[in-house]
Amino acid sequence: MPKFAANLSFLFKEYPFLERFAEAKAAGFKAVEVLFPYDEPASEIAWRMQDLDLEMALINVPPPNYTGGERGFAAVPGLEERFRRDFKRALRYAEFLKAGHMHIMAGKAKGVVALETYKRNLAWAAQEAPNMSLTIEPINPHDMPGYFLDDFDLAIEVLDAVAELNLGLQFDAYHAQIITGDAMAAWERYAPYVRHIQIAGAPERHEPVKGLIDYPALFRAVDDSGYSGWISAEYMPKTRTEDGLEWFRQAQSA
C-alpha cells in the first residue's frame, strides 16, 4: 500500500502554518513536506514533528518563498555563487529537520549555457551533500512559464549526464499529465529514476479524483514497481482540506 504525506504548503491552509502539522497527523498522515519552511525556526518545526511522530519527506531549495521570489537558480547562468550559498543554507535546514529529500529548483532560463550551468550546479550540490537525497522536478510551462526544467526527457538527460547516486527524479503526476498527456505512461517510462512522488488531480490540481489521471491504477502501478517512498498530496483543496480526504481513506483501505 502506498505511503502518503501531506504537503503543508497546499493542505490544511485553514490553519496557521505551525498548527497544520497536528491537523495532518489527526487526518492520518505519517509524513509531511513543506516547500519553503524557512520563515519558521527549524527548531520549532522539528519539535512539532518529534512530538507528533511525523517525518519530513521533502523541502525545496532555495530558501526564499514564492512571494516575489525566483523559483530557483540552479540553471541560471551568472548566479552560481548565489545558488551555492542558498544551497548550503537549505542543507543545514534539511539536515536539522531530517528531511528525506531536497528538491533543487532550476529557475527561469533557456539554452545551452543554462543546461551546462544546471549540470555543473547539480554535480556540485550532489558532491557537497553526499548523504542527502536530491531531486529535480519537471514543471509544466502553463503553471510556471519560463521554468527551465519543463520536460521529462530533459530531466533524464540531465540525470544521466550528472550521474550522481544521490540525485534523482521527483515525479509529480499532475505535471506529468500536463506535460506528456499521459501520467501513467510517464510513470512506466521514468519510474527507474524516481526518488519522490507528488499527486494532484488534473487538469485543475484539486483532489486526486475524477480527472484525467486514474489514481487507483497509478497507485497499483507504484506498488508493483517496488517504490517504497512517500507519495505526497500536493493539491489545492476545493473546500476545507478535511472535506476532500475521501481519496486518502479509500487508498489506505484498498
Among the listed residues 137, 157, 164, 246, the single catalytic one is 137
Pairing of strands 101-104, 194-199: unpaired
Type of residue found at 206: H
Domains and CATH numbers, the chain: 3-253 (3.20.20.150)
Question: Which residues make Cβ contacts (< 8 Å) with residue 144, sequence separation at least 6?
Answer: 71, 150
Per-residue pLDDT for 109 more than 90? yes
Q: Provide the pLDDT confidence category of residue 70 given band limits of 50, 70 and 90.
A: confident
Q: Is 234 a catalytic residue?
A: yes
Among the listed residues 19, 128, 234, 246, the single catalytic one is 234
- Percentage above 90 pLDDT, the chain: 93
Q: Is 137 a catalytic residue?
A: yes
Per-residue pLDDT tens for 188-244? 999 999 999 999 999 999 999 989 999 999 999 999 999 999 999 999 999 999 999
Q: How far apart are CA 87 and CA 85, in angstroms?
A: 5
